[in-house]
Structure 1
Amino acid sequence: MASPSRGWTSARISYIAARIFFVLIIFQLPLFRVQCRSGMCTTPIQITSCQLTANEIFPSAVVKALLYPGAAVNSLVSNMTLPKWNNILHMYNLTEVKNASAVVDLQRLEVLCGSYFAVAGALIGVINPGRMSMFGTLLIVWGLVKEGFLGKPANTNPATAVYVSPAMVLAIISAVFSVRYNLKKAVKGSQARPVAKPLQSSVKSKLK
Protein backbone atom coordinates (compact mmCIF):
# COMPACT_ATOMS: atom_id res chain seq x y z
CA MET A 1 0.00 0.00 0.00
CA ALA A 2 1.33 3.44 -0.97
CA SER A 3 2.20 5.67 1.97
CA PRO A 4 0.69 9.19 2.30
CA SER A 5 4.14 10.72 1.81
CA ARG A 6 4.53 9.02 -1.57
CA GLY A 7 1.10 10.24 -2.66
CA TRP A 8 1.98 13.78 -1.55
CA THR A 9 5.30 13.61 -3.43
CA SER A 10 3.58 12.46 -6.64
CA ALA A 11 1.06 15.29 -6.40
CA ARG A 12 3.80 17.81 -5.70
CA ILE A 13 5.87 16.70 -8.71
CA SER A 14 2.79 16.89 -10.93
CA TYR A 15 1.99 20.35 -9.58
CA ILE A 16 5.50 21.72 -10.22
CA ALA A 17 5.84 20.08 -13.66
CA ALA A 18 2.48 21.47 -14.81
CA ARG A 19 3.54 25.00 -13.88
CA ILE A 20 6.91 24.65 -15.58
CA PHE A 21 5.11 23.56 -18.74
CA PHE A 22 2.71 26.50 -18.36
CA VAL A 23 5.63 28.96 -18.19
CA LEU A 24 7.34 27.40 -21.22
CA ILE A 25 4.19 27.60 -23.35
CA ILE A 26 2.59 30.87 -22.22
CA PHE A 27 5.80 32.90 -22.18
CA GLN A 28 6.74 31.43 -25.57
CA LEU A 29 10.17 29.98 -24.99
CA PRO A 30 11.28 28.89 -28.50
CA LEU A 31 10.90 25.13 -28.76
CA PHE A 32 11.23 24.56 -32.50
CA ARG A 33 11.13 26.27 -35.88
CA VAL A 34 8.67 25.31 -38.62
CA GLN A 35 6.87 27.04 -41.43
CA CYS A 36 3.36 28.31 -40.70
CA ARG A 37 0.88 30.73 -42.23
CA SER A 38 2.55 33.75 -40.67
CA GLY A 39 6.01 32.74 -41.87
CA MET A 40 8.15 30.87 -39.33
CA CYS A 41 6.70 29.78 -35.98
CA THR A 42 8.81 28.81 -32.97
CA THR A 43 6.19 28.09 -30.30
CA PRO A 44 2.88 26.20 -30.02
CA ILE A 45 1.07 29.46 -29.20
CA GLN A 46 2.22 31.04 -32.46
CA ILE A 47 0.90 28.11 -34.49
CA THR A 48 -2.36 28.09 -32.54
CA SER A 49 -2.77 31.85 -32.96
CA CYS A 50 -2.30 31.55 -36.71
CA GLN A 51 -5.15 29.08 -36.91
CA LEU A 52 -7.44 31.00 -34.59
CA THR A 53 -6.89 34.20 -36.56
CA ALA A 54 -7.15 32.64 -40.01
CA ASN A 55 -10.32 30.70 -39.22
CA GLU A 56 -11.84 33.45 -37.02
CA ILE A 57 -12.68 30.88 -34.35
CA PHE A 58 -12.29 33.41 -31.52
CA PRO A 59 -12.25 37.22 -31.46
CA SER A 60 -8.89 38.88 -31.98
CA ALA A 61 -8.86 39.90 -28.31
CA VAL A 62 -8.50 36.22 -27.32
CA VAL A 63 -5.56 35.76 -29.68
CA LYS A 64 -3.92 38.93 -28.36
CA ALA A 65 -4.39 37.69 -24.78
CA LEU A 66 -2.58 34.43 -25.67
CA LEU A 67 0.29 36.24 -27.37
CA TYR A 68 0.74 39.17 -25.01
CA PRO A 69 2.62 37.44 -22.13
CA GLY A 70 5.32 36.13 -24.47
CA ALA A 71 5.44 39.39 -26.42
CA ALA A 72 5.87 41.32 -23.17
CA VAL A 73 8.75 39.13 -22.01
CA ASN A 74 10.50 39.37 -25.38
CA SER A 75 10.12 43.17 -25.47
CA LEU A 76 11.37 43.59 -21.92
CA VAL A 77 14.42 41.44 -22.62
CA SER A 78 15.25 43.16 -25.91
CA ASN A 79 14.51 46.86 -25.25
CA MET A 80 12.98 47.12 -21.75
CA THR A 81 9.58 48.25 -23.04
CA LEU A 82 6.11 46.73 -23.10
CA PRO A 83 4.40 46.12 -26.45
CA LYS A 84 1.23 47.99 -27.32
CA TRP A 85 -1.94 45.94 -27.22
CA ASN A 86 -3.05 47.08 -30.70
CA ASN A 87 0.28 46.07 -32.26
CA ILE A 88 0.33 42.45 -31.07
CA LEU A 89 -1.06 40.93 -34.27
CA HIS A 90 1.30 43.04 -36.36
CA MET A 91 4.30 41.90 -34.27
CA TYR A 92 3.52 38.27 -35.09
CA ASN A 93 2.65 38.96 -38.75
CA LEU A 94 -0.97 37.89 -38.26
CA THR A 95 -2.68 40.83 -39.95
CA GLU A 96 -2.74 39.14 -43.36
CA VAL A 97 -2.77 35.53 -42.22
CA LYS A 98 -6.34 35.02 -43.49
CA ASN A 99 -5.08 35.33 -47.06
CA ALA A 100 -2.21 32.89 -46.59
CA SER A 101 -2.34 29.38 -48.03
CA ALA A 102 -3.48 26.59 -45.73
CA VAL A 103 -1.32 23.99 -47.49
CA VAL A 104 1.62 24.62 -45.17
CA ASP A 105 -0.55 23.72 -42.17
CA LEU A 106 -2.10 20.66 -43.80
CA GLN A 107 1.39 19.28 -44.38
CA ARG A 108 2.11 19.53 -40.66
CA LEU A 109 -1.08 18.27 -39.05
CA GLU A 110 0.77 16.59 -36.18
CA VAL A 111 2.50 19.83 -35.19
CA LEU A 112 -0.74 21.77 -35.63
CA CYS A 113 -2.88 19.40 -33.54
CA GLY A 114 -0.12 18.98 -30.99
CA SER A 115 0.13 22.75 -30.57
CA TYR A 116 -3.60 22.97 -29.88
CA PHE A 117 -3.36 20.27 -27.21
CA ALA A 118 -0.18 21.74 -25.72
CA VAL A 119 -1.70 25.22 -25.31
CA ALA A 120 -4.98 23.85 -23.93
CA GLY A 121 -3.10 21.49 -21.61
CA ALA A 122 -0.90 24.30 -20.30
CA LEU A 123 -3.95 26.44 -19.46
CA ILE A 124 -6.02 23.61 -17.95
CA GLY A 125 -3.02 22.07 -16.19
CA VAL A 126 -2.71 25.05 -13.85
CA ILE A 127 -6.03 24.01 -12.29
CA ASN A 128 -6.06 20.28 -12.94
CA PRO A 129 -2.97 18.64 -14.49
CA GLY A 130 -3.83 15.94 -17.00
CA ARG A 131 -2.60 14.05 -20.03
CA MET A 132 -3.42 16.72 -22.61
CA SER A 133 -0.02 18.43 -22.27
CA MET A 134 1.87 15.17 -22.69
CA PHE A 135 -0.25 14.08 -25.65
CA GLY A 136 0.18 17.44 -27.40
CA THR A 137 3.94 17.54 -26.82
CA LEU A 138 4.44 14.02 -28.15
CA LEU A 139 2.40 14.88 -31.24
CA ILE A 140 4.62 17.90 -31.88
CA VAL A 141 7.75 15.80 -31.45
CA TRP A 142 6.47 13.18 -33.89
CA GLY A 143 5.63 15.88 -36.46
CA LEU A 144 9.09 17.42 -36.12
CA VAL A 145 10.80 14.03 -36.37
CA LYS A 146 8.74 13.10 -39.42
CA GLU A 147 9.72 16.29 -41.22
CA GLY A 148 13.28 16.64 -39.96
CA PHE A 149 14.47 13.06 -40.32
CA LEU A 150 12.01 11.39 -42.68
CA GLY A 151 11.72 14.40 -44.98
CA LYS A 152 7.90 14.61 -45.09
CA PRO A 153 7.17 17.13 -46.49
CA ALA A 154 10.46 17.53 -48.34
CA ASN A 155 12.26 20.81 -47.64
CA THR A 156 15.54 21.72 -49.31
CA ASN A 157 15.73 25.34 -48.12
CA PRO A 158 18.02 25.67 -45.05
CA ALA A 159 16.33 28.93 -44.03
CA THR A 160 12.97 27.21 -43.62
CA ALA A 161 14.20 23.80 -42.48
CA VAL A 162 12.77 22.33 -39.30
CA TYR A 163 14.77 23.01 -36.13
CA VAL A 164 14.30 21.63 -32.62
CA SER A 165 15.50 23.72 -29.68
CA PRO A 166 17.20 22.10 -26.64
CA ALA A 167 14.37 23.59 -24.57
CA MET A 168 12.10 20.98 -26.18
CA VAL A 169 13.64 18.39 -23.87
CA LEU A 170 12.49 20.38 -20.84
CA ALA A 171 9.01 20.69 -22.35
CA ILE A 172 8.80 16.92 -22.84
CA ILE A 173 9.99 16.17 -19.29
CA SER A 174 7.61 18.67 -17.68
CA ALA A 175 4.68 17.43 -19.80
CA VAL A 176 5.31 13.80 -18.86
CA PHE A 177 5.77 14.50 -15.14
CA SER A 178 2.69 16.73 -15.03
CA VAL A 179 0.60 13.57 -15.32
CA ARG A 180 -0.23 12.22 -11.90
CA TYR A 181 -0.30 8.44 -11.83
CA ASN A 182 -2.41 7.00 -9.01
CA LEU A 183 -0.70 3.65 -8.44
CA LYS A 184 -2.78 2.89 -5.35
CA LYS A 185 -6.02 3.21 -7.30
CA ALA A 186 -4.66 1.05 -10.12
CA VAL A 187 -3.67 -1.73 -7.69
CA LYS A 188 -7.08 -1.65 -6.01
CA GLY A 189 -8.77 -1.85 -9.41
CA SER A 190 -6.79 -4.91 -10.40
CA GLN A 191 -7.47 -6.63 -7.06
CA ALA A 192 -11.19 -5.94 -7.33
CA ARG A 193 -11.55 -7.86 -10.59
CA PRO A 194 -13.64 -11.03 -10.16
CA VAL A 195 -11.77 -14.32 -10.51
CA ALA A 196 -13.46 -16.98 -12.62
CA LYS A 197 -14.32 -20.11 -10.59
CA PRO A 198 -14.97 -23.57 -12.02
CA LEU A 199 -18.51 -24.86 -11.99
CA GLN A 200 -19.39 -27.26 -9.18
CA SER A 201 -20.68 -29.86 -11.60
CA SER A 202 -17.34 -30.00 -13.45
CA VAL A 203 -15.45 -30.38 -10.15
CA LYS A 204 -17.70 -33.27 -9.04
CA SER A 205 -17.28 -35.03 -12.38
CA LYS A 206 -13.49 -34.85 -12.04
CA LEU A 207 -13.64 -36.31 -8.51
CA LYS A 208 -15.66 -39.27 -9.72
Structure 2
Amino acid sequence: MAGAGWAAKVPTIASRVYFLLIILQIPLFRVPCRSGLCTTPMAVTSSQLISSDVFPTAAVKALLYPGAVVDGLISTMTIPKWNDILDLYNLTAAKSASAMVDLQRLEVLAGSYFSVAGAFVGLMKPGRMSMFGTLLVVWGLVKESFLGKPPNTDPATAVFIYPTMFFALFCAFSSVKYDLNRVTRKQQARPAAKPLQSSAKSKLK
Protein backbone atom coordinates (compact mmCIF):
# COMPACT_ATOMS: atom_id res chain seq x y z
CA MET A 1 0.00 0.00 0.00
CA ALA A 2 2.88 2.34 0.82
CA GLY A 3 4.43 1.70 -2.60
CA ALA A 4 1.13 2.40 -4.33
CA GLY A 5 0.78 5.68 -2.44
CA TRP A 6 4.26 6.77 -3.46
CA ALA A 7 3.58 5.82 -7.10
CA ALA A 8 0.48 8.02 -7.06
CA LYS A 9 2.62 11.02 -6.04
CA VAL A 10 5.19 10.57 -8.82
CA PRO A 11 3.20 12.46 -11.52
CA THR A 12 2.66 15.44 -9.21
CA ILE A 13 6.33 15.60 -8.21
CA ALA A 14 7.50 15.18 -11.81
CA SER A 15 5.13 17.94 -12.96
CA ARG A 16 6.51 20.36 -10.38
CA VAL A 17 10.12 19.55 -11.27
CA TYR A 18 9.29 20.02 -14.96
CA PHE A 19 7.67 23.38 -14.14
CA LEU A 20 10.85 24.53 -12.39
CA LEU A 21 12.95 23.46 -15.38
CA ILE A 22 10.76 25.56 -17.67
CA ILE A 23 10.07 28.63 -15.54
CA LEU A 24 13.67 28.95 -14.26
CA GLN A 25 14.89 28.51 -17.84
CA ILE A 26 17.40 25.74 -17.26
CA PRO A 27 19.27 25.36 -20.60
CA LEU A 28 17.96 22.31 -22.44
CA PHE A 29 19.15 22.91 -25.99
CA ARG A 30 20.67 25.48 -28.31
CA VAL A 31 18.86 26.52 -31.45
CA PRO A 32 18.75 29.68 -33.61
CA CYS A 33 15.62 31.77 -33.03
CA ARG A 34 14.38 35.30 -33.67
CA SER A 35 16.26 36.69 -30.68
CA GLY A 36 19.52 35.03 -31.71
CA LEU A 37 20.20 31.75 -29.90
CA CYS A 38 17.59 30.22 -27.62
CA THR A 39 18.42 27.59 -25.03
CA THR A 40 15.02 27.01 -23.42
CA PRO A 41 11.39 26.50 -24.50
CA MET A 42 10.54 29.70 -22.64
CA ALA A 43 13.01 31.72 -24.73
CA VAL A 44 11.68 30.27 -28.00
CA THR A 45 8.09 30.95 -26.95
CA SER A 46 8.82 34.47 -25.71
CA SER A 47 10.61 35.50 -28.90
CA GLN A 48 7.63 34.34 -30.94
CA LEU A 49 5.11 36.05 -28.65
CA ILE A 50 7.01 39.34 -28.75
CA SER A 51 7.37 39.30 -32.53
CA SER A 52 3.72 38.43 -33.16
CA ASP A 53 2.21 40.72 -30.47
CA VAL A 54 -0.04 37.87 -29.29
CA PHE A 55 0.58 38.53 -25.59
CA PRO A 56 1.09 41.86 -23.84
CA THR A 57 4.73 42.72 -23.27
CA ALA A 58 4.17 42.73 -19.51
CA ALA A 59 2.94 39.11 -19.63
CA VAL A 60 6.03 38.01 -21.55
CA LYS A 61 8.24 39.80 -19.04
CA ALA A 62 6.44 38.00 -16.21
CA LEU A 63 7.23 34.66 -17.85
CA LEU A 64 10.89 35.52 -18.27
CA TYR A 65 11.52 37.27 -14.94
CA PRO A 66 11.94 34.20 -12.65
CA GLY A 67 14.60 32.74 -14.91
CA ALA A 68 16.29 36.13 -15.28
CA VAL A 69 16.47 36.50 -11.50
CA VAL A 70 18.05 33.06 -11.05
CA ASP A 71 20.55 33.69 -13.85
CA GLY A 72 21.43 37.11 -12.45
CA LEU A 73 22.01 35.76 -8.94
CA ILE A 74 24.20 32.93 -10.24
CA SER A 75 26.27 34.94 -12.72
CA THR A 76 26.60 38.42 -11.18
CA MET A 77 24.86 38.14 -7.77
CA THR A 78 22.42 40.85 -8.83
CA ILE A 79 18.71 40.96 -9.56
CA PRO A 80 17.92 42.33 -13.03
CA LYS A 81 15.58 45.27 -13.38
CA TRP A 82 12.08 44.74 -14.73
CA ASN A 83 12.60 47.23 -17.55
CA ASP A 84 15.78 45.48 -18.72
CA ILE A 85 14.21 42.03 -19.29
CA LEU A 86 13.66 42.43 -23.03
CA ASP A 87 17.21 43.69 -23.51
CA LEU A 88 18.66 40.81 -21.51
CA TYR A 89 17.03 38.29 -23.83
CA ASN A 90 17.63 40.38 -26.97
CA LEU A 91 13.90 40.56 -27.63
CA THR A 92 13.85 44.20 -28.66
CA ALA A 93 15.03 43.19 -32.13
CA ALA A 94 12.82 40.09 -32.36
CA LYS A 95 10.06 41.92 -34.23
CA SER A 96 12.37 42.86 -37.07
CA ALA A 97 13.97 39.40 -37.33
CA SER A 98 13.10 37.13 -40.22
CA ALA A 99 10.19 34.78 -39.64
CA MET A 100 11.98 32.06 -41.61
CA VAL A 101 14.08 31.25 -38.54
CA ASP A 102 10.96 29.95 -36.80
CA LEU A 103 9.26 28.54 -39.88
CA GLN A 104 12.26 26.30 -40.54
CA ARG A 105 11.90 24.82 -37.06
CA LEU A 106 8.16 24.43 -36.62
CA GLU A 107 8.55 21.33 -34.42
CA VAL A 108 10.77 23.19 -31.95
CA LEU A 109 8.45 26.19 -31.98
CA ALA A 110 5.25 24.18 -31.50
CA GLY A 111 6.92 21.91 -28.95
CA SER A 112 8.10 24.91 -26.95
CA TYR A 113 4.56 26.29 -26.85
CA PHE A 114 3.22 22.97 -25.59
CA SER A 115 6.08 22.61 -23.10
CA VAL A 116 5.45 26.02 -21.53
CA ALA A 117 1.68 25.56 -21.47
CA GLY A 118 2.02 22.01 -20.16
CA ALA A 119 4.30 23.17 -17.36
CA PHE A 120 1.61 25.53 -16.04
CA VAL A 121 -1.29 23.13 -16.63
CA GLY A 122 0.65 20.35 -14.91
CA LEU A 123 0.67 22.31 -11.66
CA MET A 124 -3.11 21.93 -11.48
CA LYS A 125 -3.53 18.58 -13.18
CA PRO A 126 -0.68 16.43 -14.51
CA GLY A 127 -1.30 15.45 -18.11
CA ARG A 128 0.25 14.63 -21.47
CA MET A 129 0.80 18.15 -22.80
CA SER A 130 4.33 18.42 -21.38
CA MET A 131 5.28 15.03 -22.78
CA PHE A 132 3.89 15.88 -26.22
CA GLY A 133 5.68 19.23 -26.30
CA THR A 134 9.01 17.80 -25.18
CA LEU A 135 8.83 15.03 -27.77
CA LEU A 136 8.14 17.60 -30.49
CA VAL A 137 11.16 19.65 -29.44
CA VAL A 138 13.40 16.57 -29.33
CA TRP A 139 12.22 15.46 -32.76
CA GLY A 140 12.88 18.90 -34.24
CA LEU A 141 16.38 19.01 -32.75
CA VAL A 142 17.23 15.47 -33.82
CA LYS A 143 15.94 16.10 -37.33
CA GLU A 144 18.16 19.13 -37.74
CA SER A 145 21.20 17.52 -36.10
CA PHE A 146 21.21 14.26 -38.05
CA LEU A 147 19.30 15.08 -41.21
CA GLY A 148 20.70 18.58 -41.65
CA LYS A 149 17.31 20.21 -42.24
CA PRO A 150 17.60 23.17 -42.35
CA PRO A 151 21.35 23.16 -43.19
CA ASN A 152 23.69 25.08 -40.88
CA THR A 153 27.42 25.43 -41.53
CA ASP A 154 28.24 27.69 -38.57
CA PRO A 155 29.42 25.63 -35.54
CA ALA A 156 28.68 28.54 -33.18
CA THR A 157 24.97 28.45 -34.03
CA ALA A 158 24.63 24.72 -34.64
CA VAL A 159 21.87 22.86 -32.83
CA PHE A 160 23.00 21.29 -29.58
CA ILE A 161 21.16 19.19 -26.99
CA TYR A 162 22.22 19.51 -23.35
CA PRO A 163 22.05 16.51 -20.98
CA THR A 164 19.36 18.34 -19.03
CA MET A 165 17.04 17.76 -22.01
CA PHE A 166 16.92 14.05 -21.23
CA PHE A 167 16.07 14.83 -17.59
CA ALA A 168 13.24 17.09 -18.79
CA LEU A 169 12.02 14.29 -21.06
CA PHE A 170 12.06 11.88 -18.11
CA CYS A 171 10.04 14.34 -16.00
CA ALA A 172 7.58 14.86 -18.85
CA PHE A 173 6.95 11.13 -19.18
CA SER A 174 6.74 10.68 -15.40
CA SER A 175 4.16 13.47 -15.13
CA VAL A 176 1.63 11.40 -17.10
CA LYS A 177 -0.82 9.97 -14.59
CA TYR A 178 -1.92 6.39 -15.12
CA ASP A 179 -4.89 5.05 -13.17
CA LEU A 180 -3.57 1.63 -12.18
CA ASN A 181 -6.63 0.87 -10.07
CA ARG A 182 -8.90 1.44 -13.07
CA VAL A 183 -6.84 -0.91 -15.21
CA THR A 184 -6.97 -3.56 -12.50
CA ARG A 185 -10.76 -3.23 -12.18
CA LYS A 186 -11.18 -3.60 -15.93
CA GLN A 187 -9.14 -6.78 -15.91
CA GLN A 188 -11.12 -8.21 -13.01
CA ALA A 189 -14.44 -7.27 -14.64
CA ARG A 190 -13.72 -9.33 -17.74
CA PRO A 191 -15.94 -12.44 -17.71
CA ALA A 192 -14.16 -15.76 -17.53
CA ALA A 193 -14.38 -17.90 -20.63
CA LYS A 194 -17.08 -20.56 -20.28
CA PRO A 195 -16.62 -24.06 -21.77
CA LEU A 196 -18.71 -24.91 -24.78
CA GLN A 197 -21.84 -26.93 -24.09
CA SER A 198 -20.77 -29.67 -26.51
CA SER A 199 -17.49 -30.19 -24.68
CA ALA A 200 -19.30 -30.28 -21.34
CA LYS A 201 -21.73 -32.94 -22.61
CA SER A 202 -18.91 -35.06 -24.03
CA LYS A 203 -17.26 -35.09 -20.62
CA LEU A 204 -20.50 -36.35 -19.04
CA LYS A 205 -20.69 -39.18 -21.53
- Indicate whether the TM-score tops 0.5: yes
- 2:120 equivalent among 107, 123, 127: 123
Deviations 1:25-71 (A, max 9, x none): 11001000000000000000000001111111110011000000000
Partners of 1:46 and 1:144 lie apart in 2 by 15
Q: Does 1:11 align with 2:14?
A: no
Query: Is the partner of 2:124 in helix, strand or coil?
Result: coil
Within a 5 Å distance, the mapping from 1:48-127 to structure 2 comes to: 48-127=45-124
Shift of 1:148: 0.4
8 A contact 1:37–1:105 mirrored in 2: yes
Partners of 1:96 and 1:192 lie apart in 2 by 61
Shift of 1:105: 0.4
Query: Is the partner of 2:32 in helix, strand or coil?
Result: strand
The number of aligned residues is: 195
- Tell me the percent identity: 61
Partners of 2:49 and 2:22 lie apart in 1 by 17
- 2:181 equivalent among 169, 174, 184: 184
Q: Which runs of 5+ in 2 are unaligned?
A: 193-205
Shift of 1:114: 0.5
Shift of 1:108: 0.5
Query: Is the partner of 1:98 in helix, strand or coil?
Result: coil
TM-score normalised per structure 2: 0.89
1:41 is matched with which residue?
Answer: 38
2:132 is matched with which residue?
Answer: 135
Partners of 1:181 and 1:40 lie apart in 2 by 37
Query: Is the partner of 1:87 in helix, strand or coil?
Result: helix
Q: Does 1:29 align with 2:10?
A: no
Query: Is the partner of 1:33 in helix, strand or coil?
Result: strand
Partners of 1:158 and 1:74 lie apart in 2 by 25
Change (3 A) 1:194 1:139: farther
Q: Does 1:145 align with 2:122?
A: no
Query: Is the partner of 1:129 in helix, strand or coil?
Result: coil
